[in-house]
Amino acid sequence: MPTTASPPTAAAGASRRSGTLYIGDPGMWSWVAHRITGVLTFFFLFVHVLDTALVRVSPAAYNAVIETYKTPLVALLEVGLVGAVLYHALNGIRVMLVDFWSKGPKYQRPMLWSLLGVWLVVMVPGAFFMLQRAATELFGGH
Amino acid sequence: MTETLTLDKPRSPRRPAARRSNFELYSWLFMRLSGLALVVLVLGHLFIMNIVDGGVHRIDFAFVAGRWSSPFWQFWDLLMLWLAQLHGGNGLRTIIDDYARKDTTRFWLKIMLYASMVVILVLGTLVIFTFDPTIA
Ligand code: HEM
Ligand code: HEM
């Protein structure tokens, strides 16, 4: 059964020098990470819609659950989630460029390094703002 | 010719048009178009919720009530709910096809997936439309 997102397999590249077109290439790992981050976000969304639905139960019930979002440990998980979604979004744009831009396949690898660069540049200040409060609660401010 | 797309003559000017449906093509296109919209919707949502104005520490019932008093954010959340759920669900369908080895496993995993998608879409939509800021 053909699926839309499988990486090309070695079979088609039998005549190529290395024997494979894609396996072992950083492009393969970028696809693995895209898959994992997509699944992770999907599962988060499931829980997230359930917790948001508590606004229909009572303000107290909703506020009680949202309080857990503000604890240091969960704040760390949120940074992880934001990092995962950001990677998935940036790599998704790269996938689209590879598919639709005539030079996309040629530049797939430099585009991967660039997206990792953008990811770092966004995540460093992002993590700082997201963890500021948790850090003062844990290590100072008493 | 069966439903499977064979690539024996990928560069021949014309391939036999015997595929019974274009569903996989539309699904492929949908992943890209919805992805493009989700860049703005989800990254915007994450920025507003986690970075702006104290981030997650300012979120409570009153905050949500304030946001959903505006049709703009109601519509934003509704669109994000549907696109993210269909995009992610369609992605999971592909993943199940890739890894499930037995037809029965595949069948039951997909039933679970589709059931969870219906629950989340209905519940999320209802919550947005029936939200009551004066609830006790
Ligand atoms: C830690 C990160 C997140 C926080 C703190 C957060 C917070 C919130 C809050 C407070 C609401 C209530 C409605 C509003 O004020 O607009 C909401 C709704 C929503 N969020 Fe998030 N969110 C996060 C991540 C995400 C992600 C990653 C997604 C998408 C995959 C997402 C999708 C949604 C959707 C679809 C709704 C509407 C729910 C409904 O229809 O009942 N959120 N979020
Ligand atoms: C933020 C913007 C997003 C962009 C630009 C984006 C882009 C994409 C693209 C282009 C694909 C197809 C990959 C391929 O065919 O090889 C894809 C797959 C996928 N996406 Fe997204 N996406 C986004 C958000 C989301 C969200 C919010 C979820 C979860 C609810 C999600 C879950 C998935 C899953 C599970 C797959 C399937 C992965 C696979 O088959 O390997 N994505 N995404």
Set out the domains of chain B in order of their start, with CATH numbers.
Answer: 24-130 (1.20.1300.10)
ipTM above 0.90, yes or no: no
Angle at A99 between CA A98 and CA A104, to 5 degrees: 30
A interface toward B at CB cutoff 8 Å? 1-6, 12, 35, 38-39, 41-42, 45-46, 49-50, 52-53, 55-56, 58-59, 62-63, 66, 69-70, 75, 78, 82, 85-86, 89, 92-93, 95-96, 99-100, 126, 129-130, 133
Please say whether the beta carbons of B83 and B34 come within 8 A: yes
Please give the distance, rounded to the nearest whole angstrom, from the Cα atom of residue B38 to the centre of ligand 1. 13
Phi, psi of A104 (to 5 degrees): -55, -50
Q: Is residue A3 part of a domain?
A: no
Nearest to B42 among A50, A85, A96 (CB): A85
How many domains does the structure of chain A reveal? Answer: 1
Indicate the top mutation candidate among B45, B47, B56, B81 to test ligand 1's pocket, ranked by most ligand atoms within 8 A of CB: B45
pLDDT of the residue at A138:
79
Is there an atom of ligand 1 within 6 Å of B50 CB? yes
Angle at A38 between CA B50 and CA A23, to 5 degrees: 135
Please give the distance, rounded to the nearest whole angstrom, from the Cα atom of residue B45 to the centre of ligand 1. 7
Phi, psi of A118 (to 5 degrees): -60, -40
Is there an atom of ligand 2 within 6 Å of B31 CB? yes
Q: Is residue A78 part of a domain?
A: yes
Q: Is residue A19 part of a domain?
A: no
Alpha-carbon distance of B93 to A3, in angstroms, equals: 9
Q: Is residue A107 part of a domain?
A: yes
pLDDT of the residue at A10:
45
Q: Is residue A98 part of a domain?
A: yes
From first to last of its 142 residues, chain A has per-residue pLDDT tens of 445 565 555 444 444 455 556 677 787 889 999 999 999 999 999 999 999 999 999 999 999 999 999 998 999 999 999 999 999 999 999 999 999 988 988 888 899 999 999 999 999 999 999 998 888 877 876 5
Alpha-carbon distance of A21 to A8, in angstroms, equals: 7
pLDDT of the residue at A132:
86
Chain B: give the shortest CA distance to residue A89, in Å.
6
Burial status of residue B42 (CB atoms within 10 A of its CB: 0-12, 13-18, 19 or more): buried
Write the Ramachandran bin of A141: left for phi over 0, alpha for psi from -120 to 50, otherwise beta. left
Which chain B residue's Cα is nearest to A2?
B4
The alpha-carbon radius of gyration of chain B (Å, integer) is 21
Please give the distance, rounded to the nearest whole angstrom, from the Cα atom of residue A138 to the centre of ligand 2. 36
pLDDT of the residue at A56:
93
- Look up residue B58 and give its amino acid: R
Alpha-carbon distance of A134 to A73, in angstroms, equals: 9
pLDDT of the residue at A19:
53
Please say whether the beta carbons of A89 and B43 come within 8 A: yes
Nearest to B51 among A50, A100, A129 (CB): A129
pLDDT less than 50: residues of chain B = 1
Q: Is residue A2 part of a domain?
A: no
Q: Is residue A1 part of a domain?
A: no
Please give the distance, rounded to the nearest whole angstrom, from the Cα atom of residue A74 to the centre of ligand 2. 24
Among the residues of chain B, which ranges form H helices? 23-50, 61-67, 71-99, 103-130
Chain A: give the shortest CA distance to residue B36, in Å.
7
First-last CA distance in chain A: 61
Indicate which CATH number applies to the domain containing A110. 1.20.1300.10
Alpha-carbon distance of A55 to A52, in angstroms, equals: 6
Alpha-carbon distance of A30 to A116, in angstroms, equals: 10
Alpha-carbon distance of A36 to A48, in angstroms, equals: 18
The parent domain of residue A115 ranges over 25-139
- What is the DSSP code (8-state) at residue A25? S
pLDDT of the residue at A108:
86
Q: Is residue A88 part of a domain?
A: yes
Sign of CA dihedral A117, A118, A123, A126: positive
Whole-model pTM: value is 0.87
Please say whether the beta carbons of B106 and B89 come within 8 A: no
pLDDT of the residue at A26:
83
